[in-house]
Amino acid sequence: MNLHQEITQLKKQKNAVILAHYYQVPEIQEVADYVGDSLGLAQKAAETNAEIIVFAGVHFMAETAKILNPNKKVLLPDLMAGCSLADSCPPEAFKKLVDAHPNHVVITYVNCSAEVKALSDIICTSSNAEKIVNSVPKDVPIIFAPDKNLGKYIQKQTGREMLLWDGACIVHEAFSLDKLLKLHQEHPEAKIIAHPESESHILQTASYVGSTAGMIKHVKTNPAKSYIVATEAGILHKMQQEVPQTTLIPAPAEEDNTCACSECAFMKMNTLQKLYDCLATETPKIEVSKTIREKAILPIEHMLELSK
């Protein structure tokens, strides 16, 4: 048996479910029970009957699944799979900001630690951020954290001024505007689509801005000869399966960026072998303390309720 078959067999034996993000390597996406964006993955984690959840994504995603399922085993193939955006918002510093603005509603992007979620009123993802912000009465001020690029985009969409945390994703901040415009000149027929974690000068070039699931839906429902895709390159696997006739071109990153490409080094820490090992040994496990969990579950449930 090959690794794929062994994982499938183990998964059945152990009543486990594999949830994978679109940024995972293709072979992980192919063995997963569900591949989705952050909101879809949280919704699947909330409704699964499986005894074990193997989260093929990054730490904050698996942590969210554990908060929703305290009595289940939640596994992450590589515990070091973190997120630059989550790291840009340390809980102690964030608590100071929240305490200094007691009249603000705290909306936090799901890309943050359980401790930061515990300090928040509502969680959002890139697919529901606009709806969540609009759910807050207009006269109530908002703190939006940790992604300043998503925050700026939502400010523009909703016309709401928000107090923004100064965080960003290293992958989405690495796109080069000059190279993108040059690429577009070489492919004038191509439409540009972008993830809202990208900087505003990149978003301004895009004919569509949305979450990973939103981008896939957009290319399916708006057939075009080619698309230039400004998000992590892992998305191209599922996207290409959905639109086999369309040419998909990854948006170019600056050469001197830390990852030198549009790949998320954290997402790519998970491999098929590590996925197998983690299912076989039922480690590494995600743990969240009861105190943090009891606070962090409230803004997550609030989001899930508003996203039905």
| Nearest of 131, 138, 149 to residue 105 by alpha carbon | 138
Q: In whole angstroms, how close is the CB of 159 to ligand SF4 at the nearest point?
A: 26
Task: Give, for 163, the enclosing helix (H) or strand (E).
Answer: strand 163-164
User: Rule CB under 6 A: which of 192-211 touch ligand SF4?
Assistant: 197
- Least distance from C-beta 223 to ligand SF4, angstroms? 27
Binder of ligand SF4 out of 53, 83, 206, 303 (CB under 6 A): 83
89 labeled part of a ligand binding site: no
The site that binds ligand SF4 (CB under 6 A) totals a number of residues, namely 13
110 is in an annotated binding site: yes
Residue 212, annotated as binding a ligand: yes
* Residue 230 touches which member of ligand 13P, ligand SF4, none, C-beta under 5-8 Å by kind: none
Total length of the chain:
308
Six-digit token string for 79:
């515990």
**Is residue 85 close enough to count as binding ligand SF4 by CB under 6 A?**
yes
Q: Which residues bind ligand 13P (CB under 6 A)?
A: 37-38, 111, 125-127, 169, 195, 197, 211-212
- Least separation in angstroms between CB 216 and ligand 13P: 10
- Partners of residue 206 on adjacent β-strands: none
Which residues, numbered 134-153, are part of the site for ligand SF4 (CB under 6 A)? Answer: none
Contact call for residue 266 and ligand SF4 (CB under 6 A): yes
- Provide, rounded to whole angstroms, the least separation between the CB of residue 186 and ligand 13P: 27
Which structure tokens are listed for 93? Answer: 């510093």
Residue closer to ligand 13P, measured from CB, 45 or 104: 45
Residues 6+ apart with CB under 8 A from 178: none
Long-range residue pairs from 99-103, CB within 8 A, at least 24 positions apart, any chain: 101/141, 101/143, 101/163, 103/140, 103/141
Task: Give the 3-state secondary structure of residue 57.
Answer: coil
- When CB distances are held under 5 to 8 angstroms depending on the partner's kind, the choice from ligand SF4, ligand 13P, none that residue 266 binds is ligand SF4
106, containing H or E segment: strand 105-109
Q: List Cβ neighbours of 28 (8 Å cut-off, separation of 6 or more).
A: 18, 20, 56, 270, 271, 272, 275
The answer to whether 240 and 248 have CB atoms below 8 angstroms apart is yes
264 labelled ligand-binding: yes
Task: Give the tokens for residue 271.
Answer: 């491999």
Q: Between 104 and 237, whose beta carbon lies closer to ligand 13P?
A: 237
Given 58, 98, 230, 286, the residue binding ligand SF4 (CB under 6 A): 58
The helix/strand/coil state of 21 is strand
Closest CA to 209 of 229, 224, 180: 229
Contact positions toward ligand SF4, by CB under 6 A?
A: 58, 83-85, 111, 169-171, 197, 232, 264, 266-267
Binding residues for [4Fe-4S] cluster: 83, 169, 264
Binding residues: 21, 38, 83, 109-111, 126, 169, 195-197, 212, 264
